[in-house]
Structure 1
Amino acid sequence: MNYKLSRRRFGQLALAGTVASGLSYLGNKAFAQTPSLNIPNLNIVGIGSSSIITTDQTVVPEVNITESDDSTAPNIVPTVIKPLGLVLQSLITGNSQVLGDKSTPLLEPNEILSGFTSLTDGTLVVAITPVTTSRRQATSTRITFLGTPVKTLIVSGLKRNQQLGSLLGTIDGRLIGLVGKKNGTPPIVLVDIDLQTGEISPISKVKFPNDERVSNLAECPDGKLYTSLLGLNGDTTLVQLDSNPKKPIGLAQLKVDDKAWNNGLQSLVCSATGQLLAFGAMRYETPNAVYSVDKNSGNMTRLQDFDTTQITLARS
């Protein structure tokens, strides 16, 4: 018997193999560190998403079969790719943890991770946003607390074309974030998020420019808030949020080795010593990496590669 796989089925099996290899790689990976510039005493946690591979013997494989006397059938095990949810990774140890399974996925295929932070009690929080604007297909924007047990709140107060992102657990115990259009364009609003109900309310003291994208929120121990502005060409400016002048205070253009950073940031965090850390990659480059940031000059120093989507500092 000759088995001829359709193009679609071949693609599914190929993807299954890729995802399975990726999960194995993720579980065993030891992250390479720059010899003279590793990151001591910082528990940096990354979050990403993946898919789970399950074998289901009741599924009929999608193959076209023709009979032949001089051939044998290959051992094909039907596979089904289902949403998995979230993968947490530790930068320092390289350990990973999968949250969710085939019966309770935390992330659907039509959703993205739009924000990630940690609260004062150490709870990790992620914002999950649907990518479609169709009322019939869209799920609800929600925040998920990655504790024991996992807790999810539906976010209320968003308009249909808005997205919640860039979460930040503040020093005084609040959860704040940035709300903008789903394509990332202005207007951008800084909001408080009720930790009990998921309801958002604008923080009107800060006014963002209408010609630049705003992403990422970080708070240093002195209480100062920082974010980044993204220009049309990808140029990225570090700014401080100050409620007195009611607009961001531009600090410096971000750059690496005297070359302008050209791709925005995935995350921005601040250590207990007041050191800003940026996370991302230059345009057309991989993987993402953690950089230390000089607030005055905008110079970024590459510390360590980290193949994940967003980061936060885990709190004890």
Structure 2
Amino acid sequence: MNYKLSRRRFGQLALAGTVASGLSYLGNKAFAQTPSLNIPNLNIVGIGSSSIITTDQTVVPEVNITESDDSTAPNIVPTVIKPLGLVLQSLITGNSQVLGDQVLGDKSTPLLEPNEILSGFTSLTDGTLVVAITPVTTSRRQATPTRITFLGTPVKTLIVSGLKRNQQLGSLLGTIDGRLIGLVGKKNGTPPIVLVDIDLQTGEISPISKVKFPNDERVSNLAECPDGKLYTSLLGLNGDTTLVQLDSNQKKPIGLAQLKVDDKAWNNGLQSLVCSATGQLLAFGAMRYETPNAVYSVDKNSGNMTRLQDFDTTQITLARS
């Protein structure tokens, strides 16, 4: 089941033949780096989702014919647009390279449905990539359950148990000691937030910390540095984002600094937060109304964020060999 994503292996990955036509545009997405910076050589894995356009002769298209009785009308080939699965990209920051894409899933067994979101993404100590998939449907149709998917060969999925009806699992983190933890909150992302352990064999969750998060701020993203310290970010009502440390001996998160770029307050939360093997904290996201997302180095003491490289994906983690 292990999915070890080394630099060499990722460079050799090829798009699955059934989906290449619908996803070839991903390989052409541009990214940029700040030329004046001495960027560390990091292997970052990004994840997102994509749709593919297929023709299916067995599907009857929805066509308005109330005012048409033209027997000579051209044949209509129905077009079906459907999320196809998960798209992985690898970014080598120091070498300014994107080492190609890999698509997981196909049109018959998509890993992600239209009414679902990627709510968490991380890598385990053995290199296995793990994603949390959360339903967001508001229709009468019963939603598929929250699950964690191990992106191995074959792909393995566990249904998450222990969640209440109005809760969702997000912000996954593979810890140094081999566990999988995450944050559980309401489906709209609001408090109360609980730090939980996720059983890698059963998918069952259980609370692991008595840290009480603020009730007026959203909490997202978990990162662990080599010294074992945990970090997350708090998002205020106006988008202001605070870097905090989590300590099991403290009842509240330890506030470190307000995040900012070029002396401007960061105003949009973060998509991901990771920590390198050297202890460098990295943030991933974009300011409000700006695109694309980018990787930033973070000064833990001042909150200053330095843009390293753009990376047009949804969430990131660090590849582990």
Per the TM superposition, whether the score is higher than 0.5 is yes
- Per-residue CA deviation, residues 122-179 of structure 1 (Å, 9 max, x unaligned), is 0000000000366742110000000111000000000000010000000000000000
The aligned counterpart of 1:251 is 256
Q: How many residues align?
A: 316
1:134 is paired with a residue whose SS is: coil
Contact 2:44 2:316 survives alignment (8 Å): yes
1:54 offset after TM fit, Å? 1.3
- Per-residue CA deviation, residues 107-136 of structure 1 (Å, 9 max, x unaligned), is 011100000000000000000000036674
1:9 is paired with a residue whose SS is: helix
- Per-residue CA deviation, residues 199-226 of structure 1 (Å, 9 max, x unaligned), is 0000133221212111100000000000
Using the TM superposition, name which of 85-94 and 287-296 deviates more. Answer: 85-94
Contact 1:133 1:161 survives alignment (8 Å): no
Q: Structure 1 CA distance, aligned partners of 2:199 and 2:231? A: 21
Contact 1:118 1:315 survives alignment (8 Å): yes
Change (3 A) 1:38 1:68: farther
Contact 1:6 1:64 survives alignment (8 Å): no
Change (3 A) 1:157 1:69: closer
1:5 offset after TM fit, Å? 46
Q: Structure 1 CA distance, aligned partners of 2:82 and 2:295? A: 31
The aligned counterpart of 1:164 is 169
Q: Structure 1 CA distance, aligned partners of 2:274 and 2:5? A: 48
Q: Structure 1 CA distance, aligned partners of 2:189 and 2:118? A: 14
Gaps of 5+ in 2: 97-101
1:229 offset after TM fit, Å? 0.6
1:250 is paired with a residue whose SS is: strand
Contact 2:42 2:94 survives alignment (8 Å): no
1:138 aligns with 2:146: no
Contact 1:47 1:89 survives alignment (8 Å): yes
The aligned counterpart of 1:232 is 237
Structure scoring higher RCO (CA < 8 A, sep ≥ 6) equals 2
The aligned runs of 1:75-224 (5 Å cut-off) are: 77-92=77-92, 97-132=102-137, 136-224=141-229
Change (3 A) 1:68 1:283: closer
Gaps of 5+ in 1: none
Q: Structure 1 CA distance, aligned partners of 2:184 and 2:277? A: 27
Change (3 A) 1:18 1:123: closer
Q: Structure 2 CA distance, aligned partners of 1:234 and 1:202? A: 27
- Per-residue CA deviation, residues 12-60 of structure 1 (Å, 9 max, x unaligned), is 9999999999722202345333323374421101111111221223445
Q: Structure 2 CA distance, aligned partners of 1:42 and 1:12? A: 18
Contact 1:127 1:165 survives alignment (8 Å): yes
2:92 is paired with a residue whose SS is: coil
Rg comparison, structure with higher value:
1
Q: Structure 1 CA distance, aligned partners of 2:183 and 2:41? A: 29
1:89 is paired with a residue whose SS is: strand
Contact 1:2 1:65 survives alignment (8 Å): no
TM-score by length of 2: 0.85
Using the TM superposition, name which of 180-189 and 45-54 deviates more. Answer: 45-54
1:86 is paired with a residue whose SS is: strand
Using the TM superposition, name which of 267-276 and 65-74 deviates more. Answer: 65-74
Change (3 A) 1:22 1:33: farther
Change (3 A) 1:190 1:5: closer
The aligned counterpart of 1:12 is 12
* Identity level (%): 99
Using the TM superposition, name which of 89-98 and 133-142 deviates more. Answer: 89-98
2:14 is paired with a residue whose SS is: helix
Deviation >6 Å, runs of 4+: 1-22, 64-75, 93-96
Using the TM superposition, name which of 16-25 and 149-158 deviates more. Answer: 16-25
Q: Structure 1 CA distance, aligned partners of 2:222 and 2:13? A: 40
Q: Structure 2 CA distance, aligned partners of 1:88 and 1:33? A: 20
Contact 1:120 1:315 survives alignment (8 Å): yes
- Of 267, 281, 284, 2:286 maps to 281
1:272 offset after TM fit, Å? 0.3
Change (3 A) 1:178 1:10: closer
TM-score by length of 1: 0.86
1:7 offset after TM fit, Å? 46
Contact 1:166 1:217 survives alignment (8 Å): yes
Change (3 A) 1:157 1:4: closer
Using the TM superposition, name which of 191-200 and 39-48 deviates more. Answer: 39-48
1:64 is paired with a residue whose SS is: coil
The aligned counterpart of 1:48 is 48
1:85 offset after TM fit, Å? 1.1
1:227 offset after TM fit, Å? 0.3
Change (3 A) 1:34 1:185: same
